[in-house]
Amino acid sequence: MTHAGARSGTDEVADLAAGRLRAMRAFGGRRPRPVDRTGLPPGPGWPVVVQSAALLRFRHRFVPWLHRRFGDVFTLRLIPAGRPLVLFTRPEHAREVFAGDPEVFHAGKANAILGPMMGEHSVLLQDSSGHKRARTLLMPAFNGHALRGYAGLVTEVARAEVGSWRPGQELRALDRMNSLTLEVILRVVFGVTDEARLAALRPRVNRVVDISPAILLGYGWPRLRRLGPWRRTIENAVELDRLIYAEIRERRRAPDLTERTDVLSQLICVEDGGDALTDTELRDQLVTLLLAGHETTATALAWALHEIGRDPALRTRSREAARSGDDAWLEAVLKESMRLHPVIPMVVRTLTRPATVAGHDLPAGVTVGVSILISHARADNHPEPEAFRPERFLGQNPPTGTWIPFGGGVRRCIGAGFSLMEGVAVLREVLTAHDVTAVGDDEPKVRNITSVPRHGARIRLD
């Protein structure tokens, strides 16, 4: 195969990015075939653009209202062309969707809005044999042995970050956790340790992450890409690609390549049927791991510190756990943070053939989604759902389909184990060094496809 790295220069990288944007237009590119909406579950009759904007921008109020208004299953009509999304909210519904035939329940098609950023080779956008291949190639970098090898580096990065904090200081936990988890990703996944390269990568990554829902929606209309915020987003993506391709080219020539333990080096050494991964394939997987594994963990940690800082008893127990090495409690705190404050609102699949879900006969072309927002907030799934109670996760796993921050089935997040390991290590370092008190209240707001604390989850160090 021809490597993107065989070419050089800004123009070639820009051409690759332009090709990705053409091939991976948001929502799948081509106008979808009409879907027979006869017999679909009920839903609002609002204009398609209004429903789309409400789901992206106001999901934390809109989706619960839909649940109260229409019940456990309801239909939305979204851009482009009023494409139907049927949302399910019960654990048995989740089990059905996650157990669905992966040749029929396509996650890659449903995640097409991420295509312009992640690229066609992304494990999140592949289906069928392509997804199986991508997952097989990535799995060795995230198995138990690999995680144990990463733990020391994660602890080292966390300790350096926390060591710069001072008693009496007020800070936005989200900002500090974003900085910390980005450093972990750049070192563990990319294997970058040179400070000049880290300094070049950090702002580019942050600009990719910190985009509004309007930018995502705009990817569906190519003409918008020539305008201000969309043009600047693409220019930044090209510059990030240039840095990533340069790192890949240099890493291929590294004399210690086979001894390195970072994910990029491992993927370069992997062969599939005699074929090595191309630079473009490597780029797509790296960006996917960067975007999927950076902000999500940072947000869960920010909410966890905010919740610990609101409750003196929880704060005392958590600090004791950090000092005594009670990782089970710290993991329970992190899991409860993911339950009460979902970072991702739903898990979605697009049907390639007609299928029956929860007794509803659905035609091909419909996207089905399991609502994480509702599943995590149902009192029949989690008693007293508004309360922050890590005890829910001590010595037991919640029933299948009730706690789904990492999705489920064959598409369950490949980095779930890494995320939990990283979160526990960070909480251990923070709480060993500092007592934290929450400053004010907070609520979720939407940033790109994720939800983050609107005020940054402010805490004071005591």
CATH superfamily assigned to domain 4-461: Cytochrome P450 (1.10.630.10)
Please give the span between the terminal C-alpha atoms of the chain, in angstroms, as a whole number. 57
The pLDDT of residue 4: 46
Q: Where are the domains of the chain?
A: 4-461
Q: Check residues 273 and 168 and name the one with the higher pLDDT.
A: 168
The pLDDT of residue 7: 47
CA distances from 412 to 123, 141, 150, 415 (A): 11, 16, 21, 9
- The widest CA-to-CA distance across the chain, in whole angstroms, is 62
pLDDT at 340 over 60: yes
Lowest-pLDDT choice from 70-84, 107-121, 132-146, 325-339: 107-121
What are the φ and ψ backbone dihedral angles of 30, each rounded to 5 degrees? Answer: -65, 150
pTM of the predicted structure, to 2 decimals = 0.92
What's the CA gap between 458 and 171, in Å, rounded?
6
17-69 per-position pLDDT tens digit:
777 766 666 555 555 677 878 899 999 999 999 999 999 889 999 999 999 99
Q: Percent of the chain scored above 70 by pLDDT? A: 92
The pLDDT of residue 388: 98
127-158 per-position pLDDT tens digit:
999 999 999 989 999 999 999 999 999 999 99
